[in-house]
Amino acid sequence: MSNNNNTKVRVRFAPSPTGYLHIGGLRTALYNYLFAKKNKGTFILRIEDTDRARYVAEAENYIVNSLKWAAILPDEGPAFGGDYGPYRQSERKEIYLKHVENLIENKKAYYAFDSAEELEQMRENAKAAGNAHQQYNASIRMKMNNSLSLSEAETKAWLSSGKPYTVRFKMPTEETIEFEDAVRGKVTFKSNELDDKILMKADGMPTYHLANIVDDHLMEISHVIRGEEWLSSTPLHIMLYKAFAWQAPTFVHLPLILKPNGKGKLSKRDGEQHGFPVFPLKWLNDETNAEQPGFKEIGFLPNAFNNMIAFLGWNPGNEQELFSIEELVESFSLERIQKAGARFDWEKAKWFNKEHLMKLTAKEMLQPVKTANAKLLNHYEDEAIIAAIEMVKDRMTFYSDLESQAGFLFAAPESYDEKNVKKRYKLENKVHFNNLIEIFEGLENWKSANIEASLKSYLEQNELGFGAVLPPLRIMLTGIMGGPSVFDIADFIGKNETINRINIGLQQFEKLKAS
């Protein structure tokens, strides 16, 4: 199928399966997806696997599984079908060969027979002459071993010999290359500053530059939305479109995702150093051979993850920060993508997850919470777990936080906040706790409101303030100062457990006060 007037929006996410998919790559996929859905267009996954030397067998599955987890589902692709395939570049070799031959016939490209040693010698000679940055370009090509410098007979002899060769693009000279980038505005390059890039490698596989142009044209891509690291390659791509007499798509180059300190591109090492993930799913660390958790395993909700990465380089132009995927589609526009790099903020990332988690009901959280806290919750009924979630939901950032925020609901504290015990508990108040135990033992309807009423009544009768009893009681029941209502906690754990924890607390507090 050929490229037409590009009236229909068709975009592609085209990762290379040479390693794990970084969140920067998933953000590129998300922006393509949002733009396609906003414009009722098509979102395509294409696997650019022409770099066979760096190919990682499981990387394609990782890419597809990451997209599925984030619910950024392609309309076309290797695992999704479509009419413009194959969608793996390794399966399109004959297509590229035909287009390379077209360029050679039209004198837009040429065969290059230079050996690695000859290329190295060229660079050494250039250095000796004071030109350390010599490229294989118009100034040097006629001095090299290629079909431009050799006779037709010599070229034919080389090609028929079976010796390896590459195909290079013949970059025109004295041309100004201009294009309009949707994020950066007008971008200008001089063709004399560009080299004759290899289009077909010695193994017969195309380079990214050729395959990317041919595929974008044949798949009728209307907008190329990709990372800014590809901006410097765009002039070559523009010249290739011109060489084929094809219409170029609209280019959109996205800002980098920066380290937390804003200095340099976010990398795997930043995550390892600061203790946060930079990959969507779990991955195997080649250096330590240990499996590392991704955003999914840490406990991020797909909605929260998408919301978070959407804001790494884009904003809606108003004060709203929390978006569902449907709201992101509705609000997204290329005009709101920023030029400057976007600093990754782990605390802000967690905030997004916390806010999205709070939008769920306790019942919706039940199964993921049970999975994330399996050891703690193994013997408890769903009803009790839902009640616990209700009590601490607004304190949780991840499903796994139930244990840290409400572990005391399921198991008595093994230690106490010593500093607060010494500060808040007075030995002379032991009599009041013994009196409360008697009151609690006689309380027939053990409910939060009744527990609270009986305790308040006792305090009033004895002219005591809340501070005399409530903080120490909280520590006796939970081990810590923070948490939900003391009366709700007592209601949850039951009368016998409440009294038991008070008795143990009185014994332990005396020891702590004496130490």
Query: What percentage of the chain carries pLDDT values higher than 90?
Result: 90
Angstrom distances, CA of residue 287 to CA of 269, 277, 283, 284, 295: 11, 16, 12, 9, 20
pLDDT at 134: 84
| Least trusted range by pLDDT, from 177-181, 239-243, 397-401, 511-515 | 511-515
Helix axes 448-461, 430-441, angle to 10 degrees: 140
Distance separating alpha carbons of residues 367 and 373, to the nearest angstrom: 10
| pLDDT surpasses 50 at 479 | yes
Q: pLDDT category, 131, cuts 50, 70, 90? A: confident
CB atoms within 10 A of CB 385: 24
Q: What is the DSSP string of 198-224?
A: EEE-TTSPBPHHHHHHHHHHHTT--EE
How much is the pLDDT for 436? 97
pLDDT at 51: 86
Catalytic residue among 268, 282, 430, 495: 268
Average pLDDT in the 220-242 region? 97
- Condensed to tens digits (0 to 9), the pLDDT of residues 43-69 reads 999 999 988 888 888 999 999 999 999
Q: CA-to-CA distance for 393 and 357, rounded, in angstroms?
A: 8
d(CA 3, CA 20): 32
* pLDDT tens-place string over residues 174-192: 999 999 999 999 999 999 9
Q: Angle at which helices 93-105 and 234-244 pack, to 10 degrees? A: 70
Q: How far is CA 68 from CA 12, 17, 73, 131, 360, in A?
A: 16, 16, 6, 50, 21
pTM (2 d.p.): 0.91
pLDDT digits (tens, 9 = 90+) for 481-498: 989 999 999 999 999 999
Confidence of residue 2 (pLDDT cuts 50, 70, 90): very low
Band of pLDDT at residue 4, cut at 50, 70 and 90: very low
The pLDDT of 187-207, averaged and rounded, is 95
Task: Report which DSSP code applies to 192.
Answer: G
State the pLDDT at residue 370: 95
268 is known as an active-site residue: yes
Amino acid (1-letter code) at residue 18:
T
pLDDT tens string 58-111: 999 999 999 999 999 999 999 899 999 999 999 999 999 999 999 999 999 999
141: nearest Cα among 116, 174, 165, 119: 119
pLDDT over 70 for what percent of the chain? Answer: 99
Hey, what long-range contacts does 369-375 have (CB within 8 A, 24 or more apart)? Answer: 369/399, 369/402, 371/399, 372/299, 372/398, 372/399, 372/400, 372/402, 373/399, 373/400, 373/402, 373/403
